[in-house]
Chains A and B, each alone.
Chain A
Amino acid sequence: MRLITRKVALYVVTAIVAITINFFLPRLMPGNPALTVLGKAQSAESPQAIAALEEQYGVQTRTGIWGQYVQYWDHLLHGNLGTSLNAYPASVGSLIRAALPWTLALVGTATVISFVLGTLLGIAAAWRRGSWLDNLLPAMTFFQAAPYFFVAILAVALFATKLGWFPPSQGYDTATLNPGFNWAFISNVLDHAVLPALTIVLASVAGWIIGMRNMMITTMDEDYVLLAQAKGLPRQRVVAYAARNALLPNVSGFALAIGFIVSGALLTEIVFSYPGVGYLLLNSIGSDDYPVLQGIFLIITITVLLANLLADFVYAFLDPRTRQET
């Protein structure tokens, strides 16, 4: 339990740091971007929007920086992330809330598939040394080094545009279908999710294979594996013994990789015009929608921290040593 307590403390501090960075960044930047936006907004937006912005960025208020900081926390704790500049009067929260389920479903499923598949292949690669799997390693290295979104562009070109097996963009057929809990809609959503999910799996699986393979090779030298073999246990049992122990570092590696995977997946969404957080991010960059940009940063950070916490719980569950009270 001490491990979990320590980790929770770390995540809480990290969240506070992220929120503080988010507060101070626009105020520290050269040329105060908030003023630039306000200048741009002055002509187009309504007075209410400008007032909201002024409050959010602490422009033309007599509150000191500390007062603004406290107020910022107050807003955050009430779930108020500010107002979008681009989609005024929609709140940042409502925009993210609409996009988040798409991302969570897509990225979550793809990541779990990739982790399980990669771990199994890694075990196989370590066990059957010199098989075709080892020859695949250079190709896998390339997929790991190439950006996610490049793999996504290739997938779109080949499987959607050229072969026409999958739809090339969007989360569902917006022209003919309305979101609802019916088979037509759900099957359409699944159809649209297959290619982006495959892309994420393809781009991220190599890391798990290589990590697991290297861990397995080290673990198979342990005495208890030798003992299991010497006792005459069937081969599968022996492999399972080794694999269970080699899995531990991979699980903690999983926690560390979540941030990378989420970032990569956001870029994948952009290629597919998938209606998730990544696409919202792209649009807010294109229109200098700073409140949305910052809101997305916070939400992603908190999601990643929660995912990390989950991975830590799994780790503590798998490894009895961490549960020991010392």
Chain B
Amino acid sequence: MRRLLRSPKIIAGLCLSGAFGILAILGPFLAPYDPNANASTTVGIAQPPSAAHLLGTTQTQQDVLSQLLVGGRSTILVSLVAGVVATVLAVLFGVAAGYLGGWADDGLSMLANIFLVLPALPLLIVIFGLLGRGANPNDLLIGFIIAVTGWAFGARQLRAQTLSMRARDFIDSARIIGERSWRIMAFEILPNLVPIVATSFLFTVIYGVGTYTALSFLGVINTAHWSWGTMLYWAQNAQAAQDVHIQWWWFVPPGLAVGLFGTGLALLNFGIDEYVNPRLRAAGITGRRARRAGLPRHTRLGLTPVLPSREPVLLSQETAR
């Protein structure tokens, strides 16, 4: 665990996604204006950033910063709900399919494979389109529906790992002493799958942010419900990027926020990958550091240097400086 916390990727990822987590909680309280309020109804042009409006205004004189802060909560909440629900589904289906085998495995794997090849976004568009665009959206429900389309990838990975684990001695002995199947799955197998569960959770949160933003951008979710996607919807609607005076302050902040939140989560994911697979750890070290650690410039074949366990200490010293 210590070693995990020393990886620069993990630190950067935690900082980024943690900052967005705080933003989701505090954002609506920090917003200087009501995101729907029109500061002036006479001016029909989006105003560039100024002291009164730090990120400028939209075409209808709404404060962009307030929209960003208020919209962050919905965006992050939906993606977290999607991540949690999808991960629970992935663990249930993946571990059960891998451990039980036989008919249960065939059925569950088939289900996962169907959801894997079924294009999720068009399906979600049809679902939300039919639910009605005018309906008042519920963030929990949106997250739940997105999760239903996003669990299959994690389930597949978990199943593969469970399969390889099922043949191990300690599982056999647990079975022989008469432990029940659910107990073996929950207490013998699952603890060994934690890194994969974690990466699959992060993966689905990234998927959730992207999908929710895309759906709001398309306008299938009520466009009066503030999220980073609806901000982009209104900016695109007003042709903010096509206008002669590019209104960058309108579309850059929400897009950047989505991208940075996703980057934070992806960095965490890479960090965990490197923790699990030491070969990637050595490969992730670049230029100056590699030379300092005494690694060759070019890969020596058949011998990816697995860094000695003291190596991360060296890295942390460097980040401390």
Contact = CB atoms under 8 A, between A and B. Distances in A.
B159 to A, nearest CB: 15
B259 A217 contact: no
A26 B99 CA distance: 37
B232 A150 contact: yes
Nearest to B252: A154
Interface stretch (A77-85, A108-116, A297-305): A297-305
B18 interface: no
Interface residues of A, number: 78
Interface residues of B, number: 71
A192 interface: no
Contacts of B119: 259, 262-263, 300-301, 304
Contact of B258 (A150, A259, A290): A150
Interface in A2-24: 10-11, 13-14, 17-18, 21-22
B302 A222 contact: yes
B194 interface: no
Contacts of A10: 110, 113-114, 117
Contact of B125 (A26, A31, A238, A281): A281
Contact of B236 (A13, A263, A270): A270
Nearest to A296: B122
B299 A129 contact: yes
A270 B258 contact: no
Interface in B94-126: 110, 113-114, 116-123, 125-126
Contact of A142 (B244, B260, B283, B287): B260
B301 A147 contact: no
Interface string B255-283: 11011111101110010010001011001
Q: What is the interface of chain A mostly: helix, strand, loop, or mixed?
A: helix
Interface in B216-250: 217-220, 232, 235-236, 240-244, 246, 248
Nearest to B127: A25
Contacts of B113: 10, 14
Contacts of A162: 246
Contacts of A21: 123
B275 to A, nearest CB: 14
B213 A147 contact: yes
B195 interface: no
Nearest to A235: B298
A145 B299 contact: no
Interface stretch (A44-52, A179-187, A223-231): A223-231
A226 B299 CA distance: 11
Interface string B126-160: 11011111000000000000000000010000000
Contact of A13 (B110, B241, B277, B279): B110
A95 interface: no
A28 to B, nearest CB: 9
B214 interface: yes
Contact of A161 (B129, B219, B243, B299): B243
A135 B288 CA distance: 11
A214 B255 contact: no
Interface in B195-229: 206, 210, 213-214, 217-220
The 3 closest A-B pairs by CB, nearest first: A145-B262, A226-B302, A146-B259
Given A150-B259, A225-B302, A259-B118, 12 more contacts: A18-B118, A130-B291, A145-B262, A147-B210, A147-B214, A217-B283, A221-B303, A226-B303, A263-B214, A282-B218, A301-B123, A304-B117
23 contacts: A14-B113, A14-B117, A17-B118, A134-B286, A135-B286, A141-B267, A145-B262, A147-B259, A149-B214, A150-B232, A157-B251, A161-B241, A161-B242, A161-B243, A213-B283, A221-B302, A225-B301, A259-B121, A266-B122, A271-B241, A285-B129, A293-B129, A304-B117
Interface of A: 10-11, 13-14, 17-18, 21-22, 25-26, 29-31, 33, 36, 126-131, 134-135, 138, 141-147, 149-150, 153-154, 156-157, 160-162, 168-169, 213-214, 217-218, 220-223, 225-226, 228-229, 238, 256, 259, 262-263, 266-267, 270-271, 281-282, 285-286, 288, 290, 293-294, 296-297, 300-301, 304-305, 308
